[in-house]
Amino acid sequence: MDKKKFTRTLVTAALPYANGPIHLGHLAGAYLPADIFVRFKRLKGEDILFICGSDEHGVPITITAEKEGVSPKVIIDRYHEMNRKAFEDFGMSFDNYSRTSLPLHHKTAQEFFLKYYQNGILKQKKELQYYDEKAKMFLPDRYLVGTCPHCKSEDARGDQCENCGSYLNPTDLINPKSKITGETPILKETTHFYFPLGNYQERLEKYIAEKDKQEGWKENVLNYCQSWFKEGLQDRAVTRDLDWGVKVPVEGFENKVLYVWFEAVLGYISSTKEWAEKQGKPEEWRKYWQSEETKYIAFIGKDNVVFHTIVFPAMLMAWNDLSEEKYILPDNVPANEFLNYEGLKFSKSRGWGIDLKDFLEHFPPDPLRYYLASILPENRDTDFYWRDFQAKNNNELADIFGNFVNRTLTFTNKHFNSQVPEIKKLSELDEELIKQLPEFKNRIEALYEKIKIKDALNETMNLARLANKYFNDSQPWKTIKEDYDACATTINLSLQLIRTLAVLLSPVIPFTSEKIFKLLNIEDEDLKKWDGCDETKLKAGHKINQPEIIFTKIDDKVIEPYLKSQEKTEVQSVKNQKTETKSNVIDIDEFKKVEIRVAKVIECEAVPKSKKLLKLKVDLGFEQRQVIAGLAEFYKPEEMIGKKVLVVSNLKEAKLMNEISQGMILAVEDENNQLKLVTVDENLPLGSLLR
């Protein structure tokens, strides 16, 4: 295996977007597993660099700024600092936490862009885009408001209607207005650069297959990639008409910036450069990005897979084709699924979930780290439950691990004058325990190496359980009266076990491990390292400190406010609605909402390029409407003309294949899945309402 050639590791964690606070879902997706992995590697004394930073460009930030009437800088400064601090309090051990608004990052991103531009990699395409003549700027989708063609809601955005949830193109909007000036924008031609992702598809597929073979990629990640490849990679625009961002360094394009997806991933590189500068060795970053001896692991959540397995590698390939300085590509992208909150998705707009910052105001970081690590969505979506958090903290951290530490230290304090007693003889039980330590260490190590963090933690806790069993079975409270030497051995080994557990658990609960080292009066850094943590290194006679409780239990009263606040949230009511609609029974009022009328088809043609759709004009007596119906497989257009049909006349308007549909024609499906029109008595007048 060529695995052995790696002499150092580069780890990046997805750059959090500086438009809001970090919440627990983010932690479980990318940051905590990355941090645990990195801490483990550092404990082993390996050369590893851990890079992150804030992603500070893009339209959502400018929108937030507009809303608050401040500059985007105010927004990014706020959230960059808030998240940096929250990460620090949570124990994230980044070597560098940078931000993409730094000049260094702008320079790096422009360098990449220019390399592509000057070598003819990028395509230019002209397109029409809304332009605000008063503000003298092109309007991003989100800066457009207008009437939704589907639900007639008047404040739909250019990209999506929040009222009905449908995705829109800016040109779909009826009566579009600029969000900035309120003026009606005009369509104006603009030119954008595109990155030809499709040109790299074959190499990307090969690259992923190869890395998977070497590193064993996660199945979910491979599946996401497969589905992108299957659809075929498309050109992606790399520029936007915006003010806020990295300027396009080309004459005539001064008013455009690089699209965030293009420059944000490069933030990993610029953050590494910043780190190198801080070290006083400005070229040191190359050791991590441009050396075949470096293994690169990118921790992300599943929403980021395409950028890290396809877009970013393609960009680096393109660069490497043109330069002597060649970048390494991600060797592994261990993306997690999502963490939900009490059974539902985290949702900022609905106020569902809890921010890291708020959490840490009420609880210390280690119980959260422990709990999240034990429920990481490594294979599928998982849930954060307050009850479960409380249970794991109380039953596992406090009762199993905390109590073992406490009972041992207290015993040592009481019977051995706070000194590590001497081992004079070993019982079978003692020997068995000593034998098991390296076995546990090796199993846990192997799991961490495979980034199976949940399993590693579980195995570590098994050792804590074993520790309690050993203590129980040895009965030192009895032997202290009957067999002093046996008791001394039990306590000696129990103290050794505490050190072993403190080391093994330190990637997950670093603050507590440090506290335990203090209780054990361990200052020698060698005794805090991974290697040798399975050996009995505490010397007889070593003085330890007074015992302290290392984990406090969480009382019901502390949890209750969180449980109660859920009941009131909007999301909960959405869930209730959902379950209600599941039942098929509706009451008469609901039915009365539906207006069904008799109509006559007066025109009908097939919708071009469509298999199923017919475009009809129907006469409702009082008005004529266009309806799009999925009947093309069952009726020819000419058959339809003149037929009297039933039409739902108060249905939300919808757009299908760019055609407006203002109603629904009723049809039934027969036993062969064929649709048949519902026919009506010829004598009924047009517009008659079904009762």
Site for RNA in 308-367 (CB under 7 A): 343, 345
Instruction: Tell me the C-alpha distance between 143 and 187, whole Å.
Output: 14
Residue type, 423: I
Among 380, 435, 592, 593, binds RNA (CB under 7 A): 380
Question: Least separation, in Å, of the C-beta of 607 and RNA?
Answer: 7
Among 234, 323, 410, 545, binds RNA (CB under 7 A): 410
How long a stretch of residues is the chain? 691
| Residue among 54 and 661 whose Cβ is closer to RNA | 661
Restricting to residues 460-519, name those near RNA by CB under 7 A.
465, 468-469, 471-473, 475-478
Restricting to residues 639-668, name those near RNA by CB under 7 A.
648, 651-652, 654-657, 661, 663-665
216 Rama class: left (phi>0) / alpha (psi -120 to 50) / beta: left
- Which residues, in sequence order, are bridge partners of residue 52? 97
Closest CA to 234 of 119, 114, 123, 112: 123
Q: Are 276 and 310 in contact (CB under 8 A)?
A: no
Written as six digits, the tokens of 647 are 């039409």
Contacts of 164 (CB under 8 A, 6+ apart): 148, 150, 151, 153, 652
Instruction: Tell me the C-alpha distance between 604 and 616, whole Å.
Output: 4
Q: How far is CA 595 from CA 646, 665, 675, in A?
A: 10, 12, 21
Instruction: Tell me the C-alpha distance between 370 and 509, whole Å.
Output: 6
Instruction: Tell me the C-alpha distance between 553 and 374, whole Å.
Output: 18
Kindly indicate which of the ranges 46-54, 80-88, 353-361, 387-395 contains the residues binding RNA, using the contact rule CB under 7 A.
387-395
Kindly indicate which of the ranges 74-82, 180-188, 319-327, 372-380 contains the residues binding RNA, using the contact rule CB under 7 A.
372-380
Is residue 571 involved in binding RNA (CB under 7 A)?
no
Kindly indicate which of the ranges 32-40, 57-65, 182-190, 377-385 contains the residues binding RNA, using the contact rule CB under 7 A.
377-385
Kindly indicate which of the ranges 253-261, 282-290, 308-316, 624-632 contains the residues binding RNA, using the contact rule CB under 7 A.
624-632
How many residues bind RNA, per CB under 7 A?
73
In our burial notation (b when 16+ CB lie closer than 10 A, e otherwise), range 506-520 reads bbbbbbbbebbbebb
Is residue 448 involved in binding RNA (CB under 7 A)?
no
Closest CA to 272 of 96, 146, 409: 96
Question: Least separation, in Å, of the C-beta of 378 and RNA?
Answer: 6
Is residue 274 involved in binding RNA (CB under 7 A)?
no
Instruction: Tell me the C-alpha distance between 572 and 67, whole Å.
Output: 28
Instruction: Tell me the C-alpha distance between 461 and 404, whole Å.
Output: 12
Is residue 135 involved in binding RNA (CB under 7 A)?
no
Is residue 399 involved in binding RNA (CB under 7 A)?
yes
Helix (H) or strand (E) holding 567: helix 556-568
Q: Are 374 and 453 in contact (CB under 8 A)?
A: no
Is residue 612 involved in binding RNA (CB under 7 A)?
yes
Restricting to residues 6-45, name those near RNA by CB under 7 A.
none
Among 108, 382, 536, 649, binds RNA (CB under 7 A): 382
Restricting to residues 74-93, name those near RNA by CB under 7 A.
none
| Residue among 328 and 344 whose Cβ is closer to RNA | 344
Among 4, 67, 592, 611, binds RNA (CB under 7 A): 611
- Which residues, in sequence order, are bridge partners of residue 294? 8
Instruction: Tell me the C-alpha distance between 353 and 21, whole Å.
Output: 11
| Residue among 10 and 554 whose Cβ is closer to RNA | 554
Instruction: Tell me the C-alpha distance between 111 and 685, whole Å.
Output: 71
x/- site string to RNA, residues 152 to 171, per CB under 7 A?
Answer: ---------------x----
Among 553, 617, 625, 643, binds RNA (CB under 7 A): 553
Q: Are 153 and 146 in contact (CB under 8 A)?
A: no
Helix (H) or strand (E) holding 554: none
3-state secondary structure of 214: helix
Is residue 557 involved in binding RNA (CB under 7 A)?
no
Is residue 4 involved in binding RNA (CB under 7 A)?
no
Kindly indicate which of the ranges 252-260, 379-387, 437-445, 557-565 contains the residues binding RNA, using the contact rule CB under 7 A.
379-387
Is residue 279 involved in binding RNA (CB under 7 A)?
no
Question: Least separation, in Å, of the C-beta of 98 and RNA?
Answer: 28
Restricting to residues 186-215, name those near RNA by CB under 7 A.
none
Instruction: Tell me the C-alpha distance between 131 and 59, whole Å.
Output: 16
Is residue 687 involved in binding RNA (CB under 7 A)?
no
Is residue 603 involved in binding RNA (CB under 7 A)?
no
Q: What is the largest CA-CA distance in the chain?
A: 108
Is residue 370 involved in binding RNA (CB under 7 A)?
no
| Residue among 270 and 393 whose Cβ is closer to RNA | 393
x/- site string to RNA, residues 221 to 250, per CB under 7 A?
Answer: --x---x--x--------------------
| Residue among 97 and 224 whose Cβ is closer to RNA | 224
Is residue 414 involved in binding RNA (CB under 7 A)?
yes
Instruction: Tell me the C-alpha distance between 406 and 519, whole Å.
Output: 10
Question: Least separation, in Å, of the C-beta of 400 and RNA?
Answer: 5
For helices 72-90 and 365-374, give the axis angle rounded to 10 degrees.
80
Restricting to residues 578-597, name those near RNA by CB under 7 A.
578, 582
Kindly indicate which of the ranges 98-106, 184-192, 371-379, 679-687 contains the residues binding RNA, using the contact rule CB under 7 A.
371-379
